[in-house]
Amino acid sequence: MTDNENNRSFEIPPTSDQTEESHHHFDAEVPNAPKKKTRHGSFSTGFTPRRETPSVSSKKASDSTTDSASESGSAADKLSQEMSAPTMSTPSKTASTTTTTTTPSVTEFKTPVWSQPTAIDKAFERTRFLILCLVMLPLSLFAFWPSLCDIVYAWYTQLDYGHGFFVLPLVVLFLYLRLDTYPGTHYRLTWIGLFPILICCIMRFYAANQYMDALDQWSLLFWILGVVWFFYGNRVFFWALPSLLFLIFMFQLPWRFEVLMRHNLQQFAAQFAAVLLQILGEPAIPIKNTIRLSTMDLAVEQACSGIRFLISIFAISFATILLIKRPWWQNIFILIISIPIALFVNAARIAMTGILLLDFNEFITGITPENRNPAVVADEIAGIFMIFVAFGIFVAFVYYLGRVFRKVEI
């Protein structure tokens, strides 16, 4: 071999990765890598950016340096990868960050398990409803028949509970209007539904021993809640619970509670009505349940205590909550505001009755039949007029509440 062939630097053909990386990092020095002497006396790592094919005569000499060259090449690859890793990995991380940090959609928020809808098996629902009508309905009528007779008799005889005929149809209407949100079919029995049924049995046992008819009537509500919970499951029970609670308005108040409420409402209505008459310029002095006017005394009877207005407006507010979707705090406020509206309207009815008897006595006497009292006729006219006033005040308040607090999309 000649001197020229000995002095020629032997080069290993680089791979594709080495070729791309060598354009950027071919000048990097590899620590602890074997170095060989070049033609000009300098030392190199064993590879250059050029690619040359060694001659046939130099293949034998290249075999001795292949191991050292491959070691130097692998060391150079590792070093080039370490040097290029920070610069190449940073964009990928930022790219992945920008793609993952997106605004969550509405569907990503999980709803409670009991409110998640499931499939509706119409055949199974019809079969279960038919079984309940054929088995549970006759059993319920047999067990609660005396209480049901007392409830219907109170609707007929007491004007304060005459609205009870409309309660059950309204409950069915509320459930029908919410069928689009029916949570789905539940195939298993829910044993926790026996708890309201147990409460019903305890109430009936105590009412029978203490002769409390009103308590026996209220036990029917717990029986209905327990049957629905036991046969239909948690989801359907909580779905139907607001509508089923509307059944409260078909029951009588407990006798002691009703008497105490009537007595307090009578005194309050007399004093409030006297204040309204004084504001209108009529002389009025409240004396317990009687208002002494200039030419007559106006007695506030038990029928004028305001329980009828209170229950009616409270029922309307409850129905409004079921039909109109509002935030929970607005629903509570609507229920609370029904109480002052009922108290004001009842006092205004008594004041209007006094004005009709004082200033329009001839007109009231002329339209009154011979077998009736003009004061009763005046009270009926004022009561009918104040029904529309109470409804108008309530509607105006609900509308105003919806205009003040409105949903704003951000």
What separation, in Å, do the N-terminal and C-terminal C-alpha atoms of the chain show? 85
44: three-class secondary structure by DSSP: strand
Which pLDDT tens digit goes with each residue over 114-159? Answer: 444 556 778 888 888 898 889 989 999 999 999 999 999 999 988 7
Report whether pLDDT(204) > 90: yes
Tell me the average pLDDT across 171-196: 88
- CA–CA distance from 166 to each of 163, 170, 291, 317, 384 (Å)? 6, 6, 35, 15, 19
User: Got the DSSP string for 285-346?
Assistant: EEETTEEE-SS-EEE--GGGSSHHHHHHHHHHHHHHHHHS---HHHHHHHHHHHHHHHHHHH
- CA–CA distance from 189 to each of 199, 240, 268 (Å)? 19, 17, 50
Q: How many Cβ atoms sit within 10 Å of the Cβ of residue 180? A: 5
The share of the chain scoring above pLDDT 90, in percent, equals: 29
Amino acid at 98: T
CA 374, CA 360: separation in Å to the nearest integer? 11
Cα torsion angle, 281, 282, 286, 291, sign: negative
Q: How many Cβ atoms sit within 10 Å of the Cβ of residue 389? A: 16
**Domain ranges within the chain, ordered by starting residue:** 3-102, 121-252, 253-410
Alpha helices in 178-294 (DSSP H): 194-210, 213-244, 255-279
What value does the CA radius of gyration of the chain take, rounded to a whole number of Å?
A: 45
Residue 194 · residue 221 · CB < 8 Å: no
Tell me the average pLDDT across 161-182: 90
Comparing CA positions, the residue from 136, 164, 166, 167 lying closest to residue 152 is 164
Residue corresponding to tokens 């005569």: 57
Comparing CA positions, the residue from 263, 267, 258, 261 lying closest to residue 350 is 267
State the chain's mean pLDDT as an integer.
76
pTM above 0.75, yes or no: no
| Buried-exposed string 53-85: b where 16+ CB fall within 10 A, e elsewhere | eeeeeeeeeeeebeeebeebbebbbebbeeeee
Report whether pLDDT(187) > 60: yes
Which pLDDT tens digit goes with each residue over 219-241? Answer: 999 999 999 999 998 999 999 99
Comparing CA positions, the residue from 241, 228, 51, 219 lying closest to residue 137 is 228
Of 41-55, 291-305, 335-349, highest mean pLDDT = 335-349
